[in-house]
């Protein structure tokens, strides 16, 4: 098995929906493009990634959403050094069809009170559902490490919640730990680096908005 030196997670640049949440009433979530600011964010992230990877090969997995494909395009990675696979399991949490703004805001308030991991949107997914499909993707990723010529780098171009859930699954974080963390900003990067101890280590933590409160046990 050839394990990569690093696994890089990137959240897409600012999308039209990040800038104006009324757009979800008119356009499908998966079809929303980057804003001009989102393109700039992605281009800046691309500069960092080109420096990070140098002339090393990269295995890329990209969410099937328009904004993630555009983010990847803005990185301008050397096509001779990358192999790209669209990966539907890395998509955004499904909300279900078109979204009415006030209803979404109400459901987000419910989610904040109920918990981001367990709350299920009326026509969509819970965080737990996303966790399950990320786990299924990890099984496929591990199998790819059996390739004798696997690249030294893996790059996932995805979404904020998916990034947190990927790390939760990888590092075996508890639900309480996951709930205490904030999403990365648009264009932000997290790197899982293979250490001398044979384990992967996160280059920097996600911002935390509270202390985890694990459930107690009773006899």
- Using the CB atoms, write b or e for 93-130: b if 16+ within 10 Å: bbbeeebeeeebeebeeebeeeebbebbbeebbbbebb
- Tell me the two tokens of residue 190: 């997290």
- Selection from 147, 148, 213, 143 nearest residue 177 by Cα: 213
Q: Rounded to an integer, what distance in angstroms lies between the CA atom of residue 31 and that of residue 69?
A: 10
Beta strands in 12-124 (DSSP E): 58-62, 82-86
Contacts of 149 (CB under 8 A, 6+ apart): 2
Contact of 121 with 106, CB cutoff 8 Å? no
Which backbone phi and psi does 66 adopt, to 5 degrees? -60, -45
Respond yes or no: is residue 12 known to be catalytic: yes
Q: Rounded to an integer, what distance in angstroms lies between the CA atom of residue 131 and that of residue 116?
A: 11
Which candidate in 14, 69, 87, 92 is catalytic? Answer: 92
Q: Which residues are catalytic?
A: 12, 92
């Amino acid at each position: 098995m050839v394990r990569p030196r690093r696994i890089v997670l990137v959240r897409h640049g600012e999308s039209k929906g990040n800038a104006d949440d009324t757009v979800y009433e008119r356009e499908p979530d998966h079809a929303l493009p980057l804003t001009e600011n989102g393109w700039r964010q992605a281009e800046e992230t691309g500069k960092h990634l080109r420096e990070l990877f140098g002339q090393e090969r990269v295995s890329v997995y990209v969410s099937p959403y328009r904004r993630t494909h555009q983010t990847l395009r803005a990185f301008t990675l050397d096509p001779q050094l990358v192999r790209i696979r669209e990966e539907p399991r890395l998509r955004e949490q499904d909300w279900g069809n078109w979204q009415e703004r006030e209803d979404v805001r109400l459901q987000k308030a419910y989610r904040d009170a109920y918990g981001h991991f367990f709350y299920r949107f009326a026509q969509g997914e819970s965080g737990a559902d996303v966790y399950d499909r990320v786990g299924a993707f990890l099984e496929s990723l591990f199998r790819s490490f059996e390739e004798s010529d696997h690249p030294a780098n893996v790059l996932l171009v995805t979404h904020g919640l998916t990034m947190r859930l990927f790390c939760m699954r990888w590092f075996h974080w508890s639900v309480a730990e996951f709930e205490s963390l904030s999403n990365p900003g648009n264009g932000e990067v997290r790197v899982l680096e293979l250490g001398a101890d044979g384990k992967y280590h996160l280059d920097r933590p996600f911002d935390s908005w509270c202390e985890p409160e694990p459930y107690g046990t009773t006899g």
